[in-house]
Structure 1
Amino acid sequence: MTRLDVRRDVRLDVLGAINQDVVARVRRAPGPGETVADGVLTHQPGGKGANQAAAAVRLGARVRMLGAVGRDAAADQMRSALTSAGVDVSEVQTVDDATGTALIVVDEAGENSIVVCAGANSRVDATLFDRDPAVPVLAQLEVSAAAVDHLARTSTGMFVLNVSPARELGAVLWDRVGLFIVNEGEYAALPRLATAPLVALTLGAEGAVLLRRGVEIAKAPSVPTSVVSTVGAGDAFAAALTVALLRGLDEETSLRTACAVGAAAVADERSQPLLAPLDAYV
């Protein structure tokens, strides 16, 4: 079995959304025009960027969060949650807007539907970040295209993009991204991904595959688990795959490890699940 090089110091900057997740757990999600009355409400730290940052630091990386919050009580709570997880929040900006909010419905099978209200996330100014351009970046698309493009253009280290939510990508991203992470719907929405240098494609219960210019180079099965919530699973997978590759694991082992971390995440009701160090999943 491939082992981690524990001497390798992994640094990672994560660009993405910081949200307060307002989660309603119900027996089944309502249909159009329908009301269900058995919801149990919780407020949790979330946002794809914050989720991935928290996961990466729990897996053993040194992580700095690049994002924005508003001037409200939720901002203090989101900063505190990231700090408690071990994430460096020194580059989290404060803007004149509400902190991002995600409205999430989770049914008894753990499946979810989400509405994101971007708020402060849409006002991230990537030109203001004070960072080492050689530090690898993990980004998503819940912040502005301008912010993601600027970071890609000015970074010299590995650049990983979780293409979520799916949208058309500019030339700078197609030229600069070394690893795209997508689900089946996102892959179908962007046919050009079939020519990308490296794509991690998640397949739900079927696991995940790595594709190099459309050709499968590695495959990993899903790990059986009790599904509690799928909200943070994709983010945990993205963080784990990125950290594993940066630690020097081969591609097949990295993919298998990311699937194991994703399975651990779906067994946790939190958007930012408590994870063991990466070595526990290899």
Structure 2
Amino acid sequence: MPAKVVVIGSLNMDLVTRAPRLPRGGETLIGQSFATVPGGKGANQAVAAARLGAQVSMVGCVGSDAYGKELRDALLAEQIDCQAVSSVEGSSGVALIVVDDNSQNAIVIVAGANGALTPSLIGCFDAVLQAADVMICQLEVPDATVGHALKRARELGKVVILNPAPASRPLPADWYANIDYLIPNESEASALSGLPVDSRQSAEAAATRLIEMGAGKVIITLGAEGSLFADGKSFAHFPAPAVKAVDTTAAGDTFVGGFAAALAVGRSEAEAIGFGQIAAALSVTRAGAQPSIPSLSDVQAFKTP
């Protein structure tokens, strides 16, 4: 049986429009297309882990609206266990996304039902967490919930991954000791460490600071520049495969899900990072969030151009 990954986090319906560029303040642009696509960092990472070889359970909340059913159905279609996806009164989470011709995006998130994922609700599904090998969290659900999940996963001896996204401020100090792998991007690493991150050298300084704050190991994703791994003793840089980007939405989520899936089945850290990077590279060659996430066979067939 595949190793088990549990994702505790957000489910959003992505409302995606493409435009020549991102609008400036007070400006109205004519968009080129519009689509509704299942997303949310938690759900995206669950789909990535499932497509890339893991047995996955999702813990989260959807609303009582039409989006809620669509979001749940999208996970079920990936054979993801949804017994811990609760339906609550009101609207589901949504993300408003604009993607420009250079494949960069700007995103506004409305939490909706994600705000109803409380520590007590997670406690109702403790058996799901107990059955997992690896747990993944992000920051699109309440902080108290994330802190509870990290602590409980540590108590159970699980491999704990935190993708601190979106992060605009330092994490609570008591979280770090419960994190095996902290996986921020450059801006998130800067927000958490208080240091600028605009080069490989500055990423090393930020990673060192985060380990000093208590994180077990740190992987800073650097976009087209790959990723930096730090374990408190040494650094390793992993170059990203060169591809032609179409849409970077969910690339980070794909990396996290792929890394977790590979780690869960016993691959080394270096192998898991390389695997996640190939998956993320393939995702940016396709439009959308979950539709862009590749399968295990896609990654296995990948050859560097």
| TM-score, structure 1 normalization | 0.92
After TM superposition, give the deviation of residue 214 of structure 1 in Å.
7.2
Partner of 2:287: 269
The partner residue of 2:71 within 51, 73, 78 is: 78
Structure 1 distance, partners of 2:89, 2:233, is 43
Partner of 1:239: 257
Structure 1 distance, partners of 2:246, 2:151, is 39
Partner of 1:4: none
1:176-255 equivalences in 2 (<5 Å): 176-191=178-193, 192-195=209-212, 196-213=215-232, 215-216=234-235, 218-255=236-273
Tell me the SS of whatever aligns to 1:182: coil
Q: Which has the larger displacement, 222-231 or 247-256?
A: 247-256
Identity in percent = 37
Moved over 3 A (4+): 278-282
**2:62 partner letter:** V
Structure 2: runs of 5+ lacking an equivalent: 194-208
**1:54 partner letter:** V
CA distances 1:81-101 after superposition (whole Å, capped 9, x unpaired): 111122111110111221000
Tell me the SS of whatever aligns to 1:143: coil
User: 2:60, 2:114 within 8 Å by CA — same for their partners in 1?
Assistant: yes
1:43-192 equivalences in 2 (<5 Å): 43-125=36-118, 126-130=122-126, 131-133=128-130, 135=132, 136-155=134-153, 156=156, 157-166=158-167, 167-191=169-193, 192=209
Q: Which has the larger displacement, 188-197 or 232-241?
A: 188-197
After TM superposition, give the deviation of residue 280 of structure 1 in Å.
4.4
Structure 2 distance, partners of 1:260, 1:118, is 30
Structure 2 distance, partners of 1:281, 1:138, is 26
After TM superposition, give the deviation of residue 116 of structure 1 in Å.
0.1
After TM superposition, give the deviation of residue 16 of structure 1 in Å.
1.0
User: 1:236, 1:265 within 8 Å by CA — same for their partners in 2?
Assistant: yes
Structure 1: runs of 5+ lacking an equivalent: 1-7
Task: Count matched residues.
Answer: 274
User: 2:11, 2:41 within 8 Å by CA — same for their partners in 1?
Assistant: yes
**1:169 partner letter:** L
CA distances 1:42-72 after superposition (whole Å, capped 9, x unpaired): 0000000000001110001000111000111
| Greater fraction of residues in helix | 2
After TM superposition, give the deviation of residue 134 of structure 1 in Å.
5.4
Tell me the SS of whatever aligns to 2:86: strand
